[in-house]
Structure 1
Amino acid sequence: MRSGRRTLLALVAAVVALGAVASCSSDPVGDENRTVTADPVIYPLSLRYHGIDVVADVPYGSDALQRLDVCLPADSAPDTTTTPTATAAASPSASAAPDAGALEEAAGGTRPAVLMIHGGSWSHGDKATAAYRAVCKYLASEGFVTFNVDYRLAPTDPFPAGLDDVRRALDWVFRPTTLSTYDVDSKRVGVFGGSAGGNLAAMLAVTDHDSTAYAEGDRIRAVVDLSGPTNLTTRSTDADGVSASFQRKQLLYLGCRTYAECPAATRASPEYHVTSDTAPFFIGHSTDEFIPMWESQEFAATLRKHDVPVTLVAVEGTAHSIAQLDQAMSKRVATFLRRHLG
């Protein structure tokens, strides 16, 4: 009898690990796959946010698109005596790495933070759209200082301009003056992105160990990627790849005429840059959306090969990017970020 019960429990565990349909109300636990159904309402858009202040259009560079909004949790306000200025953001001297003492002092903030990156096929989109502004406020209402960034867009500024910009924004977040101004703990910073923003968030995470300007080693502690393209190579042209119209958008972003002669495709694909130092991932992807499900499935498998914890949630239907954020999914994201950012 005891043996039969153990066998039953083992079968149940195996089904869960393979991603059997789960209740929408349950939260992700550990490293897992699951499939859920979704409500069509974008939950953050349905809420009213009391006490959430937005500091708009803060410069992190000199270009007109190198701006970000800061969504602040209730009962907090920036220290306006040290608010970073446009001059400081654009100044070459401001990019110099602080000494170890300054970094240690800067790490003394109290709040977790999230750098948020909008989508739009790398060619359009805006941090201030109603949906992204609502997600920014929602994350702030969950206790995260949220930096919602704009960045240069293709085809005027192809890869790596957008990635360079969001990396610069992340560097800006880690400046001692920024950490102090917004009371951010440098050891509790994550990234969030949807669609093209999911690609850029993932790229930041898998290459974070390359940056030593503001800290030694990795700075990103958690990653939320919703529908982010993760393999922009010729794999996109396979029968189960992206549509011809989206292939054209990818090539414009990559600055290439064809996939056959496009070294940027590998450089812009998170799939090829994962290391054992990569931060834990939460990946949301709809089963029938225009970015193929295999992109997130193969990326999750690659992360796991490097022992990176991954929660992969497959949402039944066609909801793309932040359109997946019904009430249950929004709570899953907040729970994941809280678990890893404290």
Structure 2
Amino acid sequence: MRVRDRETSVAGHRSPKTGRWRLLIASVGAAAIAVSVLPGLAAAAPVPLAPIDAAAPSGAEPAGGPVPAPLSNIPYGQFPQQRLDAYVPPAVAPAVVVIHGGGWTGRDKTSPQIRPIAEMLAQDGFAVFNINFRLASETVSGVPMQTDDIALAVDWVVRNGANYGADPRRINLIGGSSGAQLAALAGQLINQEHPGRVDSVVVLSGPLDFVLVNEPIDEPPPRDDERPGVNAYLGCVPSKCTPEQLQRPSPFYNIDAATCPAFMLVNAEEEIIPVEQPQAMHARLVLNGCSSDLRILPGVEHGFKLFDDLEPDIMRFFGLTPGNEPMIGGVAYIGKVGEPYTFAYTTHGPGPVTVEVSSGALPPGMALSPVGVLSGTPTQSGTFPFNLRATNAFGFDESAFGMEIRAAATISGTPPEAEVGQSYSFAFTVGGDAEVTVSLTGGSLPPGLSLAADGTMSGTPSQSGSFPFRVKAENTTGSAELVTSITVRPAPAGISITRLEASVSPVQTGAPVTLTATVSGPVTPTGTVVFTEGGTTLGTKQVNAQGRAAVTTSFAAGVHQVVATYSGNAQMPGSTSTSVDVVVVDAVTVGAELPSGRVGTPYSAVVPHAGGGPVTFRLASGTLPLGLTLAEDGKVEGKPRVGGITTFQVTATNPVSSVTQSVSVSIERALTTSVMTSSANPSTAGAPVSFTVVISTDTTIKKPTGTVQFRVDGRKFGKPVRVTNGQAVSPPVSGLALGSHKIAATYGGDASFTGSNSQMTQIVQQAQGAAGLRIPS
């Protein structure tokens, strides 16, 4: 038995670290995969069945090597490369199809990286089929040829696998590196053509999204001729491929919720495939309701080198355990209150396997069947952790799972009557998790009333009548609408009502603002209106025939609360308006220079500016230094990758103004130190000797590039030597005279790093036939 924890939360799809793997994939280790017969591809003829202990069937020959020995080179198609090795288990077992890697262009099933994996899986008790397939080249694209071949091999296993101890209903795929990409894509294509044919896929360090090929994290970006494996597989130069040519072979873009196999995605933290790729694939699988098990291991190992650490888990994932104990997996997708829900957990192991809740509780309204089907209609939102136990005759597997239920927004309530001139407030009842916002989607509110985002309707109505309207409550899960109305009674006879409006708010400091008061009542208003802010009178104006009075003024920066007071007359008393806020903001200005930074050192600064807020920023033209980004709040952050002075234009906007300004930032190059060593010191006269300069820096953001000029006793020694991976090696010199020689090396720096110097003394000892100095040009 075993009890394990399982990650149940799903991270958002971050912008992945792209580009790094595309340079190296042509040389990575072996891989494995399998795929169904695609439309238009004929299957190979069935191979005659043979008992386990019999000689190999026609077209195959027994292979040597460690036990268990395979039946080798069985044809599954008409091409010479379409051959497989079959490892026959002692009893009927799940099938595992293993495919070699090699950057889509090299290696085969007998490679030392691949054959031991097939043998280990066979020793674990699986029926293993280790296959070859046609390779991509400069003239032959791997898309869709290689998945067509693997599809043909899987079809062969379906038709003939039982003769080799395989259960054709339980076919699994495993691949590493380039083969892992093929395994993932093949599993998807097979099941789209033949739903349920592939049970599960293990992806060891697989590139999963070719769209990211053209978004490198390394600078300068690689040339197209530096990635021959990717070019050959895609059949196009990545920088010139169409989006369809990049998405078609990418497992990330081929997820089908109805047919997806179960995935185990495995990656090392610091290897050549960035962990963001399997993390993004895992998140997308889970969001589509597919079963996905993500494993991020420490270190830098790649491809099938990760197999040893996970062999027991892979056995269970493929439905076989040393003790025949069961295994349960799956990540339930997010449910909604009031909506019917069904999700089936995946179980493996000799049956029957029963599933039960061993601790915690399911969401109210949900139930779990003995075969692991979670169903019902949730009645309560929240996060519900629970443990599930899968049990068969050999033991049990208990794992931690969980389920999140969300509730869509709801809204209800009937606004009571209001009265002209009287302050009014009513809050609709809103429900649902997360933040719920309420908005007016139809009709209109009475003049003087407004609706806040929290569902509160408030103000002082100035007009009587019945006002029908529609409101909508919304959150990230869903929305609801309510049709209702409000009745506003007329004001009692003999009173006046004064309303105040500002012509503009917010407004720029010093700009004119017109304040208009409107007086209403049972008789035509006459008299005056006094406009005041606090104790300061802004103006006194006579009410006109329409009951209005207005004054124009200006304000300093700040928030100004203004009221209007009507004096009244013999037939009608005076009244005072509710206060109106006039927001006054200084125009925005932007400074011309940011603080300086250094390559490889974290940088954070805000574009210098002044003026009222809020202020938002955007890049108007030009580009920021490589490695830095501009946020909407004006913050410039990142790790600079290249030195120099960069000037770009920024547009800053606040509620009353917008300005575009050129801004400069100076990035200093990172410092370097150079250390030189000799291949032999002392050396003998006439013997060749070379010198190596290692260039170090205090940042890991990238390696120094450029050239190093070597000098012997002050004279230039050959042409400048290009720096590769942080070091430069001089051409050998075999003619140094007896004695000591001053060797100097000057690193000239590059756009990101300063230059540096190193020197040493080379001793040349006596040797027969010693000659004078010969320095190649």
TM-score of the superposed pair, with normalisation by structure 2? 0.32
What does residue 256 of structure 1 align with? 236
Distance 2:290 2:5 in 1: 14
Matched, 1:267 2:248: yes
What does residue 3 of structure 1 align with? none
**Is contact 1:54-1:71 (8 Å) kept?**
yes
Go from structure 1 to structure 2 and tell me whether the alpha carbon gap of 1:192 and 1:27 turns closer, same or farther (over 3 Å shift). Answer: farther
Counterparts of 1:129-148 in structure 2, within 5 Å, are 129-148=111-130
My pick for the range that moved more, 121-130 or 149-158, is: 149-158
The superposition leaves residues 47-103 of structure 1 with CA deviations (integer Å, 9 ceiling, x where unpaired) of xx9752311111111111111111222x36xxxxxxxxxxxxxxxxxxxxxxxxxxx
Counterparts of 1:1-342 in structure 2, within 5 Å, are 51-73=67-89, 75=90, 110-155=92-137, 156-158=139-141, 159-175=143-159, 178-212=160-194, 217-233=195-211, 235-240=212-217, 244=222, 247-262=227-242, 263-276=244-257, 277-326=259-308, 328-338=309-319, 339=327, 342=349
Distance 2:303 2:297 in 1: 11
Distance 1:115 1:269 in 2: 20
**Is contact 1:189-1:341 (8 Å) kept?**
no
**Is contact 1:27-1:331 (8 Å) kept?**
no
- Aligned residue identity for 2:85: D
Distance 1:27 1:336 in 2: 15
SS of corresponding position for 2:116: helix
- Aligned residue identity for 1:173: V
**Is contact 1:27-1:332 (8 Å) kept?**
no
The superposition leaves residues 313-341 of structure 1 with CA deviations (integer Å, 9 ceiling, x where unpaired) of 11212111001123x32222122212455
- Aligned residue identity for 1:189: I
Distance 1:59 1:67 in 2: 4
Go from structure 1 to structure 2 and tell me whether the alpha carbon gap of 1:70 and 1:157 turns closer, same or farther (over 3 Å shift). Answer: farther
Distance 1:28 1:126 in 2: 37
Distance 2:118 2:182 in 1: 17
Distance 1:238 1:206 in 2: 25
What does residue 20 of structure 1 align with? none
- Aligned residue identity for 1:133: R
SS of corresponding position for 1:188: strand
**Is contact 2:213-2:238 (8 Å) kept?**
no
Q: Alignment RMSD, CA only?
A: 2.6
**Structure 1 position 289, deviation (Å):** 1.3
**Structure 1 position 260, deviation (Å):** 3.8
The superposition leaves residues 3-30 of structure 1 with CA deviations (integer Å, 9 ceiling, x where unpaired) of xxxxxxxxxxxxxxxxxxxxxxx98765
**Is contact 1:227-1:321 (8 Å) kept?**
yes
Go from structure 1 to structure 2 and tell me whether the alpha carbon gap of 1:331 and 1:52 turns closer, same or farther (over 3 Å shift). Answer: same
- Aligned residue identity for 2:152: R
Distance 1:179 1:148 in 2: 13
Go from structure 1 to structure 2 and tell me whether the alpha carbon gap of 1:144 and 1:28 turns closer, same or farther (over 3 Å shift). Answer: farther
- Aligned residue identity for 1:255: G
Go from structure 1 to structure 2 and tell me whether the alpha carbon gap of 1:132 and 1:341 turns closer, same or farther (over 3 Å shift). Answer: farther
The superposition leaves residues 24-49 of structure 1 with CA deviations (integer Å, 9 ceiling, x where unpaired) of xx98765669xxxxxxxxxxxxxxx9
Give the number of the structure whose residues are more often strand, by fraction: 2
Distance 2:172 2:4 in 1: 17
TM-score of the superposed pair, with normalisation by structure 1? 0.70
Distance 1:284 1:116 in 2: 16
SS of corresponding position for 1:53: coil
Go from structure 1 to structure 2 and tell me whether the alpha carbon gap of 1:310 and 1:151 turns closer, same or farther (over 3 Å shift). Answer: same
**Is contact 2:192-2:256 (8 Å) kept?**
no
Instruction: Extract unaligned runs of 5+ from structure 1.
Output: 1-25, 34-48, 77-109
- Aligned residue identity for 1:227: S
SS of corresponding position for 1:131: coil
Aligned residues: 261
The superposition leaves residues 232-290 of structure 1 with CA deviations (integer Å, 9 ceiling, x where unpaired) of 12x12223489837744212210102334333221110001111221111111111111
Distance 1:167 1:62 in 2: 14
Larger RCO (alpha carbons 8 Å, 6+ apart): 1
Distance 2:216 2:3 in 1: 34
SS of corresponding position for 2:173: strand
What does residue 22 of structure 1 align with? none
**Is contact 1:194-1:225 (8 Å) kept?**
yes
Distance 1:71 1:112 in 2: 12
My pick for the range that moved more, 64-73 or 221-230, is: 64-73
- Aligned residue identity for 1:111: A
What does residue 36 of structure 1 align with? none
Distance 1:275 1:165 in 2: 22
**Is contact 1:122-1:196 (8 Å) kept?**
yes
The superposition leaves residues 193-249 of structure 1 with CA deviations (integer Å, 9 ceiling, x where unpaired) of 11111111101111223324xxxx22011110101111012x122234898377442
The share of aligned pairs that are identical, in percent, is: 29
**Is contact 1:32-1:310 (8 Å) kept?**
no
Instruction: Extract unaligned runs of 5+ from structure 2.
Output: 10-64, 320-326, 328-346, 350-777
Larger radius of gyration: 2
**Is contact 2:209-2:252 (8 Å) kept?**
yes
